[in-house]
Structure 1
Amino acid sequence: MPLDEDKYPAETGRRRFVKGVVGSAALSSVGAGGLAAVDATTDAAGEGGGTTQFVAVENTDGPAPRGMPIIPLEIDGGQLKGIWPEYDEDAGVAITRDFGGSGVDYSSAWFQYCGMQSVEGIYPQADQDNTFRNSSGTFSWQSEYESGAPLTVDMFSDYEDWGNGIGRSGVGKPASATWRSDGDVSTIPIQLIRSVEVERMANGEGKYSELPGTVQDFVSAATADGFIAWLNKCTHFCCVPGFKAYSGSANFGAADRIYCQCHQSVYNPFSPVQSTFVALPRPPQTE
C-alpha cells in the first residue's frame, strides 16, 4: 500500500481512527431501526457526524463499501474550481439544500471519512481557495505545468482523443489535483476528468436517461463542459486510486475505470449513484 500522510489525523489518534474506519464501513449497512443509535454514538465524539446521503462515483468491484463522493465544480475565468457549500450554524455543517434544484442536499459531511474529517479544509467555516490545483506525479502530461498551478479548461483541449496506453483512448482525460489545501495545511487529494461521457450524463442522453431523476439533475448541476470531480480517497481503506493511472488495472476490468491498486476496488465515474454512509465526526475545532 502506498504511503498516505493523510490516512490518520494524528499519531495519537491512530488507533481510534482505525476503529472509526471499520465502524463507518460496517455501519453504512445499518437498517433504519438502528439509525438513532448510530447518530447518538457518532455525534457524541465530535461534530457533524452521523448518517449522510451523498452522490458518488459508483463502486462496482472490490472490497470498497461505497462510492467516492462527487465534488460539484464550476468554471471561473477558465479555471476549474470546486464548489463549497455555505455554513449552516443550525446544522453544524456547510450545506446547500436542493443543490442546483436537484433535490440533493450537498454537504461538507460528504467528505468526513478516511481522516478527511480532521483536515482543515473540510471544516465548514474554513476560509480556503476552492481552485483545483495541479498535482503532478500521476499523469505525465501534468508535469508540463507547475505544481500548484490552477487547472484550466485549455489543459484538457485534447480530451476527445487523449490516451496513455491504458484502455481505450478518448474515454476521458484525467488530472490529479489538490483542493482547499493552500498554506501549511493537510492536503485534500481530488481527481477529475473531462469526457464526452460526462457531457452525455449531464444532458441525460442515451443510457443516462435511465438515471434516477435526482441523480441526473445533480450531475447536470455539479458538472461543467464534460468535467466531473471526486474526492480521491478509496472508501475501503483510504488509499489513493486513479483513472487510467495503473497499467495493472486492465487485469481487473478497470482500464477505463477508477482503480485502486492496493486492494483492487473499482469505481465507475460514468455511473453516479445516491447512497448513504455514516460520516465520521470532526474533532472539535480550537482557536
Structure 2
Amino acid sequence: MSQSDKYPAESGRRRFVKGVVGGAALAGVGATGSATVNTLTTAGGVGGGSTIAMSIAQTGGPAPRGLPQIPVRVTDEGYIEGIWPETTTITQEGQEVEVAQEELGGRTYAGAWFQYCGVEAQENVAPDFESDNLFRAAPGKYDWQDDTYEGGDRIHIDDFDDYDEWGNGIGDDGVGKPASVTWRSQDADSDLNAIVIRSTRIEEAVENSNGEWLEASTDQGFIAYLNVCTHFCCIPDYKVLEESTRYDAGNGTYCVCHQSTYDPFTLEESLFIARPRPD
C-alpha cells in the first residue's frame, strides 16, 4: 500500500482500506465485479448471485461483512442525492435480465449491492423503479435534524455547515455530522433506510487517495450507506447510543441487537451472495 493511500501521519486518523477481501486491491474490483455480479440463481428470481460491493468496514461482532455504500453527489441546488446505477438489459444463461449496473469510479456499481435481508423483495431496488434518488429526512435519531426537517424533507448541504465541529455527546466531537434518511422511498411501500455523514475524514481520504472510487462515490465530504445490519437485518445507529462506546464504536456505527460494529470512515470490499429479486 502506498503512502498516498493513508491519512497524513500527524492526523492520527484511520486510513481508508484499499482492499481486505482475499487480499485484493480495490483497484481490481471493476473487472472482477463485472464478471460476477447479478448472476441468475433460481428459476423464480433474477439479479442475484456472487457480488462484490464496496462497504463501510465491519469492525466487530457477528456481522459477516460491512454495510453497502451508497455513492452520493450534491446536486446543483445543494440537495444530497444517492446515485442509482443505470438500468440495462443483459443476457445471462440464455435469458434476458434487466439489471441496475454501471461503471463508476473504475469498478462495477450494481443494485445487487443492496439485495440482502429481504431488501431484494422491495420495489425500490427494482432496476426500473422511478425515483428522484434524493435522500429525505427520517426523524427520531438526531435532535439537530428533527429541529430542521419534517419527515420526508430533502436534506441540504447548507444544514451541514458545522460538520467539522458537530457533536452530541456520543464519542468525539468533529468526527462527522450525520443524518438519518430514506432513499428511493417516495411512493414506495417500504423504505430504504440509510445514513448520510459529512466528515473531514472523507475529505482527507479523497485528497490523499490515488484511486478513482473515493472521488466518484463521495462529494464534498459526504458519504452514505444502507443502514441494514448484515447479521440479523436490524437497524444500526451512528452516534445515537452511549452503549456504543463500550464496544469501541463511539465514533462508529453500532447495532444494539448483537453488538456488531462498523467504521463509516473505512471502506472495504465485501464479497457475498446477493439474493435474487422476485421475478
State how many pairs are aligned.
Answer: 238
Gaps of 5+ in 1: 1-27, 30-35
Q: Could you say what the CA RMSD is over the residues aligned between the two structures, in angstroms? A: 2.0
- Cα distance between partner residues in 2 of 1:278 and 1:103: 22
Pick the structure with more strand per residue. Answer: 2
Q: CA deviation at 1:276?
A: 1.0
User: Residue 86 of structure 1 aligns to which amino acid in structure 2?
Assistant: E
Aligned to 2:255: 260
Q: Deviations over 1:78-119 (max 9, x none)?
A: 10011111111115311112x0xx321000000000111011
Q: Deviations over 1:169-227 (max 9, x none)?
A: 000001100000012521110001000001011122xxxx5xxx6xx421211001100
- Cα distance between partner residues in 1 of 2:194 and 2:42: 27
Gaps of 5+ in 2: 1-20, 23-35, 91-96
Aligned to 1:44: 43
- Cα distance between partner residues in 2 of 1:104 and 1:259: 28
Verify the 8 A CA contact 2:124 2:188 in the aligned structure 1.
no
SS at 1:245's partner residue? coil
Verify the 8 A CA contact 1:57 1:230 in the aligned structure 2.
yes
Verify the 8 A CA contact 2:123 2:188 in the aligned structure 1.
no
Aligned to 2:143: 140
Verify the 8 A CA contact 1:129 1:181 in the aligned structure 2.
no
- Cα distance between partner residues in 1 of 2:145 and 2:102: 32
Q: Does 1:68 align with 2:67?
A: yes
- Cα distance between partner residues in 2 of 1:61 and 1:118: 28
- Cα distance between partner residues in 2 of 1:63 and 1:130: 31
Q: Does 1:276 align with 2:271?
A: yes
Aligned to 1:217: 212
Aligned to 1:13: none
- Cα distance between partner residues in 2 of 1:195 and 1:240: 22
Aligned to 2:243: 248
Q: CA deviation at 1:45?
A: 3.5
- Cα distance between partner residues in 2 of 1:133 and 1:79: 10
Q: Deviations over 1:216-255 (max 9, x none)?
A: 4212110011000000000011111111111100111100
Q: Does 1:106 align with 2:112?
A: no
Match 1:95 to one of 98, 101, 105: 101
- Cα distance between partner residues in 1 of 2:153 and 2:98: 32
User: Residue 162 of structure 1 aligns to which amino acid in structure 2?
Assistant: W
User: Residue 65 of structure 1 aligns to which amino acid in structure 2?
Assistant: P
Q: Does 1:121 align with 2:87?
A: no
User: Residue 244 of structure 1 aligns to which amino acid in structure 2?
Assistant: K
SS at 1:94's partner residue? strand
Pick the structure with more helix per residue. Answer: 1
Q: Does 1:175 align with 2:170?
A: no
User: Residue 61 of structure 2 aligns to which amino acid in structure 1?
Assistant: G
Which consecutive aligned stretches of 4+ in structure 1 deviate over 3 angstroms post-superposition?
Answer: none
Aligned to 1:25: none
